[in-house]
Amino acid sequence: MRTPLALSLALLLSAATLASAARAQECGMPLRFYEDAPRVADIDAAPVRDALDAGRYDEAARLARARLDATSLEERAAAFTVRPGLKFNEEEVRVALAAAVIRTGGLEGLAAPVSAKLGPKKAKAAQARNLENARALLQQELMRQNGDPVIATLLGEAHLALGNAEFAGRVLEDLAEADLIVSPEGWSALARARDAAGKSEEAAAARKRCEDSARDSAVCQAPAAAARS
């Protein structure tokens, strides 16, 4: 049992530590100074979310990039070193950006859209690279967010956009079995994965689920432009 003197000393030491941390924050110390860095700002995700929900994917990508350190995000996604965000809503905006990249067939990218100055061959390679980076980002976010069905559905879309209908089918069939596909685009992706596997009746059922939930049934019929990996 501590003596009153030992307890007083412990309290003084604790107060001194807290005061030191407070002074460091006031003096502009970097967040890495702290063992558990606090989230110190907030990203307004609503405009990004609204543009994505309305199918304005180029606008969603532009708004998302403006709210993120997009070049760094692309580099970390490619290296598979994405860390939790330091700002509230950062992860949501990252996922929305990845969704926009996928649904434009890679014409949008995590850091920038494909340049109109590129020739057809280089543009196609840039699209594939953008899709690969978006898929890598989703894989990392999915691991961190414990299999969130929104992210898992997007990952299925990413596999399909990269030409891997088998992987897309595996992901999306598991979600469909649990009734966890969360968007018409997800049901459309499942329909196309089933078509690729020769499951025409099951594909028609998935397409019907898409049409039942879509604002515009065109999303259920026309596949996104795909770049092959």
DSSP at 149: H
Domains and CATH numbers, the chain: 40-145 (no CATH), 147-229 (1.25.40)
Mean pLDDT throughout 160-181? 96
Is the model's pLDDT at 88 over the cut of 90?
Answer: yes
What is the token pair recorded at 90? 């950062």
Tens-place pLDDT, residues 122-167 = 999 999 999 999 999 999 999 999 999 999 999 999 999 999 999 9
Indicate the average pLDDT of the chain. 85
- Asked if 183 and 153 count as a contact pair (C-beta separation under 8 A), the reply is yes
Rounded Cα gap, residues 204 and 199, in angstroms: 9
Entry pTM: 0.80
Q: What is the pLDDT of residue 14?
A: 42
Rounded Cα gap, residues 101 and 126, in angstroms: 12
Of 72, 47, 75, the C-alpha closest to 61 is 47
Mean pLDDT throughout 7-20? 40
Cα dihedral sign, 128-78-147-87: negative
> Confidence class of residue 9 from pLDDT cuts 50, 70 and 90?
very low
